[in-house]
Structure 1
Amino acid sequence: MVSVTVSQARRVPVVPKGFPITVEIPDKTAESATVADVKAAVAAKFPIFYVERQAYTVKGEKKTLADETTLNAAGIAEGGELVVKDLGPQIGWQTVFLIEYVGPLIVHPLIYHFPSVFYGGSVQHSLLQKYVYIMVLLHFVKRELETLFVHRFSHGTMPLYGVFRNSFHYHVLGGLGLAYSVYSPTFSATSPYIRGTIRNNPTFLWSWIAIWAFAEISNWRTHVILRNLRPAGTKVRKIPYGYGFDLVSCPNYAFEILGWTVISVMTNSYASHVFLIAAVYIEVVWALKKHRNYKKEFGTAYPKGRKAIFPFII
């Protein structure tokens, strides 16, 4: 059996009078007991302070310890001390994704099918509006299905407040903003912006739809590659190869951006441009972070010529 003292990094609101405490881990030593064992022991004492809410550091240090880190590796001997931080209420990543993507699936049909509510009158939908409507719905249905059946998450949860921040991009920019702009009378079949212009030309529209379909299928293919790298129930990380990964670390983001670029070009809507700019910024930041993590984790084994998201550029 090994025992360890757990103190709090700051006030832990769910158990304000409980710390510091001493937890005992039976049938283990400092060489075999892990941070995950400490989390489980603390959660057993305070069930509301479940393991996903807990993050640990060694007293006097800032680096968060991984669950699999043993007490011995962390420099904690028998009777040593760890510091716990409350991460706040948590929500599963799968649930977060489902919430994010369902917003546009609700908003777009409402605005498209009930124009009198939003514009004060009927709208005779143009080919452009019809195609964009179908493309947006197919995209987000695809994302919901991928969340349920394709994605495997290395982290089980995230702070609950994050779901509101993450949903803004899809619910407001890609949902309300994009739908209200594109399905408005400005883009209708009778509008001078559409009638007699290239945006009412089937060849122009179908050419861009073909590029969009390529982007969507490619995005799905990269997600399947990433899924197959990680056996179910594990956090295994491997170097991805093939279908864009030989050029960049995150081709899934590049294909996602390509898909939204198509809609931005087809409509030339201010809302589509804003949504695209936000998407590019967010996904470039994510890609650079993942690229750095890959290089740090795999070192010289990671292909040197790869960029983060855009081949030969970033």
Structure 2
Amino acid sequence: MTSNIITLSVKPRGKPIKGLPEEIEIAQGGSSAELYQALSSKSRFPLHRLRITKGIDGSYILNSKDITIDHTGLREQSVIYVKDLGPQIVWRTAFIIEYIGPLLIHPLVYFLRPYIYNTNEPPSELQTLSLILITVHFLKRELETLFVHRFSLATMPIFNIFKNSFHYWALAGVNIAYWIYAPSSPAARPSNPAITYPAVALYITSQACSFSTHLTLRNLRSPGSTKRGIPTGFGFGLVTCPNYLFETLAWVAIWLVTWSLSTGVLLLTAVVQMALWAKKKEIKYRKDFPGKYRKKRYSMIPGLF
């Protein structure tokens, strides 16, 4: 691999970045992460607010220790564009904020039932079970965020946290909690063991399978690396994103316990969003690993999509 020093022409894209140099020297054998770091140091601008694209075709240059400058196709006097992505937030922090909403809201509404609904009726078995299932679900997500997940990108735009939090705090939190813990909720009725027991079994199985797929995805990437791999093993031979499949099944189980329209709305919204993500992931696998990746007919739910 060549380690020649080349000079790149640097141009801003969009809002000007004060201190951004017009040119920068970099070793062809160096990594794209070194290019990001050099531009950040010279401009004294936060590293994770920078996005670099190639002038020749506008393709994105990933901030990675595993990608060399030579591999990106940049050569002497190649033009690169540098964009300010705006204020950023760490992905792990964003996930923690998103999931903490329903994790706090559900117990709060459950234990404040007498004051919220002006009732002295104790919660039903199904309402208590709903609280347990939903709380465990989001507690699992928080723990996976802290100890399992490895992220390909370090940060996301800080404004996205408000959009994402609406889904979790409003739809999964307030909207579901208010309706399922109400005295008039379908979950306030006596449970039907023929439905409840299979639903709980489906929930436990789905959560265990979900955890297994998350471990598989974690092991594809070593700590600090952004290098991608092809996931294999349990579930991945069936669909592109079995983690989304098991997430869907877990919420189907919760819906069968709560029998609430609000839970159904969240389930439908989540399925549509995950289906879009899964389709994009399938396309990306085919693009990044031509000849190596075994194409899937279904990206998320076998027989459907």
1:83, distance to aligned residue in structure 2 (A):
1.5
Name the Cα RMSD after superposition: 2.2
- Report the counterpart of residue 217 of structure 1 in structure 2: 208
> Which 10-residue stretch deviates more, 159-168 or 301-310?
301-310
Per the TM alignment, residue 150 of structure 1 is displaced from its structure 2 partner at its CA by: 0.9
Moved more, 257-266 or 133-142: 257-266
**Is 1:122 aligned with 2:114?**
no
- 1:62 and 2:58 aligned: yes
Residues of 2 paired with 1:63 and 1:297: CA distance?
A: 14
Counterparts of 2:234 and 2:279, CA distance in 1: 19
1:241 is aligned to 2:245: no
Q: 1:298 to 1:35 in 2, by over 3 A?
A: closer
CA distances 1:148-167 after superposition (whole Å, capped 9, x unpaired): 11111111111111111111
Kept in 2, the 8 Å contact 1:4–1:82? The answer is: yes
CA distance in 1, matches of 2:81, 2:29: 19
1:94 to 85, 89, 92: 92
* d(CA) in 2 for partners of 1:208, 1:254: 16
Contact 1:57 1:65 (8 Å CA) reproduced: yes
Deviation for aligned residue 1:187: 2.8
Matched to 1:64, the amino acid is Y
Q: Deviations over 1:212-241 (max 9, x none)?
A: 111111111111111122222222322222
Normalising by the residue count of structure 1, what TM-score does the alignment of the two structures yield?
Answer: 0.87
Partner Cα distance (1:153, 1:305) in 2: 24
The gaps in structure 2 that reach 5 residues or longer are none
Across the two proteins, how many residue pairs are aligned to each other? 298
The superposition leaves residues 175-215 of structure 1 with CA deviations (integer Å, 9 ceiling, x where unpaired) of 000100100111388x6xx14xxxx2344322211111111
Structure 2 counterpart SS, 1:229: coil
| Residues 242 and 34 of structure 1, relative CA distance in 2, 3 Å threshold | closer
* CA–CA separation in structure 2 for the residues paired with 1:306 and 1:72: 31
- Counterpart contact for 2:6–2:75, Cα < 8 Å: no
Aligned to 2:142: 144
Instruction: State the alpha-carbon separation in 1 of the partners of residues 82 and 140 from structure 2.
Output: 39
**2:36 aligned residue:** 39
What does residue 76 of structure 2 align with?
77
Q: Percent identity?
A: 37
What are structure 1's unaligned runs of at least 5 residues?
none
From 250, 266, 280, the equivalent of 1:259 is 250
After the TM superposition, which segments of 4 or more aligned residues of structure 1 sit over 4 Å from their partners?
none
What are the equivalent positions in structure 2 for 1:1-314 lying under 5 Å apart? 2-12=6-16, 15=18, 18-19=19-20, 21-25=21-25, 28-29=26-27, 31-47=28-44, 49-59=45-55, 61-67=57-63, 68-70=67-69, 73-78=72-77, 80-187=78-185, 194-195=189-190, 200-314=191-305
